[in-house]
Amino acid sequence: MASDTSLVAKLDAVVADILADWNIYTTLIAGAILAFLVFSFVTSKEPEIHPFLLARQSTAFPVRQPGESSAYRSLETPHGFPLRSGLNVKDPGAPKWTSGRRGDLRDIWKAAVRGAAEEGKLPGKQGKIYTVLGRKAIEHSLEQVTQEINVIGSRLQTANAKVVAICLTDSIELLATIFAGAFYGFKTILVPHNLDPKDLSALLQKAQADVLIAEAGALDLSLVAKSNGQLSQVIWVAKIGSRHMDWNDVPSDVKGSLDVSVWHEVVEEKKDLTGLDVPSWDASTPTPSVTTVWPSASQGFDFVEYQPENLVSAIAGLTYSLPRNQRIGPSDLVLSIDSLSRSYPLCQIMAALYSNASVAVNSVAGEGVDFALATVGVSPTVVIASSRTMSAYHDKFMEPHSGFITAIARWFDVRKLDAGVMPSHGMFSQVANIGPTAELSLDKLRLLCVSHRVDADSQYRLTCAQLTDLRIFTGARVVYALTGPGVAGAVSQTNVFDYRRYAGPSHVGAPLSSVELVMTGVSEDKENEGQITVSGPAVVSGKTTLAAEGRIRDDNTLELC
C-alpha cells in the first residue's frame, strides 16, 4: 500500500516536473500539433474509388484451355452474360421495358442533332462542331453539317457510288462523308492524308474505290487516275483560303473519264434541294462498313474493315468505360488531336457526338503532333491524343521545364494521388506548374484520353511517372488505352481513377466491356503471359490475335511485355 502511494506520488512528481518546463516553445509546438491535426482532418478525402476495385480490375474465368490463359472480362460484363454489343437505342414510342436496339452511325447523328433532351422536352441543347485551323476555330452548326451530308450523300447515291475513299485531314467534310455513307448506303474508306501518291494509288486500286474525296491541290490526279480505271468521280475539298480558285479544271488526260467537282460548290448549288432534316431510315437495314488503314509492319498498309456492329459496340464500350460522373456529356468540348482515320479517336468522337458533347477536329491531327500547337485554337475539356504525341511532349518540354518549385509541388501532389485523390488545380499548383505547362492553354481540361498502338515503337509507351506528371501538370485525369488492328475502339483502357504508381511502363488497364481477352501460346509456368488474343462484338470477324506479347498483372490489368 505504502509503496503504491509512493509510486503514484513519484509519477505525479515526474509529470509535474515535466510540465513545469512548459514555456512559449511548448505552446508553439502544441499549437502546431493541433493545427496539423485539424488541417489533416479537414483536408483528408476518401479515395475516389474503392481500392479493392483497383486491386482486381477484371474478372478471370475459373477454367482455362491448355496453352491459354483464362479469359478476362471487364467488371461491367461478367462471364455468362453477353458482352456490350451496342448503344441500346430506345426509339420514341417503344415500350419502356423493352431493351434498346444496337443502333448504328445513323442513330449517333440523329442523337447529336436531337440534342441533349431533358425528359420529353424537344429540341434539346445541341453540341457544336468546331474545326481548328491554327489559332482560329470555326464553328459549324449541326444543321449545316446535316445539309452537307444530304447534298453529298444524294449526289453519290445518284452516281451509284459503292466505295468512297476519303483522303482528308480531320475536318467537317470527313465526318460528313462518313455519316453520308451510313445514310445513303456506300462504304467509306479512311485513307491517311499524307501518303505518297504511289501508295495512295495502290490503296485505291486495292479497295476498288469509285469515288475519291481529297484535298484540292494535294495530289496529282493523272497519276492516280492512270492506275485506277474504276475511279469515276473526284470531289475536291478546298480550304477556306483557296476557295476562290477554279478547282474544276482537270488535266486533259483524265477529262473524259473523271467527273471532278468541288465540295463547297456542290453544297452551295444543291442545298435548297435537300432538306435540313436528318433523313429517315429503316432501322432493320444495315449500314455499310467503314474501313481504316492500319500501317503494317512491312511498311505496307492493311485495310481494316469495321462493320457497323463493331463500331457501335466499341463506341458503347468506350462510353461506359468511364464512370458516370466522368462520362463525356453535353457540357464537354472534345478535341481530337489524333487522326480520325484511326479507330480510337474516331470511336471517341462518335461517342462524344452520341453524348451530345461539342466536338472539335483539328486539321493537323495525327499520331505525332505538337501537343501545345494542336490544342491552341480552342479550350477543350477532353483531349484525345496518341501516346507518341504525349510522350514526346512530356520528354521534350514538360520534363526539362520543371524546376525546383515544380518538384516541391509535385511531391505534395503525388502524395495526394497515392491517397487516391486527384490534386486540386489550385493557385499554388498553377504557379508551380508554370514551367512545364507554359505553352499550354488548357484551362478547362478535365480528361486526357491517350491511346497506344500495339505495334508502335516501345519508346512511346508511357511510364507511370509520365502519366503521373501529365495528371499533375495538366490537372486532368488520364485514361490510357491499347489499340490494335481489327479491334474497333480499344482493347483495354485504364481506370480513370487509377493513380497508382510503380517503376517502368504503365499497364494499359482492363479490357473494355466490348471485348474479352485471352493470352494464347502461354507456357505452363507463366500462364498469364502470351500472345494477346481479343474476341467480342467490337472485333472484326469476331476474334483476332495481336502481334504483341502481353501479360495479365496481379491486379488483372493487361501489360505489354
Partner 1 sequence: MSTAETGAVPPPEVMTIASPINLILLSLFIILIYTQFRPKAPVTLPKSPAPIVFRTFTPTTLLPFNGTEDKPVYLAVRGRVFDVSPGRNFYGPGGPYENFAGRDASRGLACQSFDEEMLTKDLKGPLDELKDLDGEQLENLQSWEERFSEKYLVVGKLVAESDPEAVKA
Chain residues in the site for partner 1 (CB under 8 A): 18-19, 21-26, 29-30, 32-33, 36-37, 40, 51-52, 54-56, 60-66, 69-70, 415, 418-419, 500, 527, 554-555
Nearer to partner 1, 32 or 138 (CB): 32
DSSP 89: B
From the CB of 56, what's the least distance to partner 1, in Å?
Answer: 5
Bridge partner list, 454: none
Nearer to partner 1, 18 or 561 (CB): 18
Nearer to partner 1, 26 or 230 (CB): 26
From the CB of 157, what's the least distance to partner 1, in Å?
Answer: 48
Nearer to partner 1, 57 or 188 (CB): 57
Contacts of 439 (CB under 8 A, 6+ apart): 372, 397
From the CB of 18, what's the least distance to partner 1, in Å?
Answer: 5
Nearer to partner 1, 2 or 19 (CB): 19
Cis peptide, bond prior to residue 123, ω within 30 of zero: yes
DSSP string, 203-250: HHHHHT-SEEEEETTSS-HHHHHHT-TT--EEEEE--GGGTTS-TT--
From the CB of 73, what's the least distance to partner 1, in Å?
Answer: 13
From the CB of 280, what's the least distance to partner 1, in Å?
Answer: 43
- Is 112 strand, coil or helix? helix
From the CB of 418, what's the least distance to partner 1, in Å?
Answer: 6
- Cβ-contact 380, 414 below 8 angstroms: no
Cβ neighbour number for residue 157 with a 10 Å cutoff: 14
Nearer to partner 1, 270 or 501 (CB): 501
418 vs 435: CA distance, rounded Å: 23
Nearer to partner 1, 119 or 525 (CB): 525
Cell numbers found for residue 255? 477529262
Match 526539362 to its residue by C-alpha cell. 400
Nearer to partner 1, 335 or 496 (CB): 496
From the CB of 527, what's the least distance to partner 1, in Å?
Answer: 7
From the CB of 80, what's the least distance to partner 1, in Å?
Answer: 9
130 vs 149: CA distance, rounded Å: 16
446 vs 493: CA distance, rounded Å: 17
- Cβ-contact 368, 387 below 8 angstroms: no
Q: For residue 312, give the nearest of 354, 357, 342 by alpha carbon.
A: 354
From the CB of 143, what's the least distance to partner 1, in Å?
Answer: 50
Contacts of 219 (CB under 8 A, 6+ apart): 167, 197, 200
From the CB of 415, what's the least distance to partner 1, in Å?
Answer: 6
Match 504557379 to its residue by C-alpha cell. 431
Nearer to partner 1, 66 or 93 (CB): 66
Amino acid (1-letter code) at residue 81: F
Q: In what order do the strands lie in the sheet with 510-511?
A: 136-140, 129-133, 358-362, 333-336, 382-386, 447-453, 477-483, 492-493, 510-511
Bridge partner list, 534: 517, 544
Cell numbers found for residue 241? 483560303
Match 513519484 to its residue by C-alpha cell. 10
Contacts of 274 (CB under 8 A, 6+ apart): 147, 150, 151, 154
From the CB of 22, what's the least distance to partner 1, in Å?
Answer: 6
Nearer to partner 1, 60 or 223 (CB): 60
Handedness of CA 366, 370, 374, 375 (dihedral sign): positive
Nearer to partner 1, 18 or 117 (CB): 18
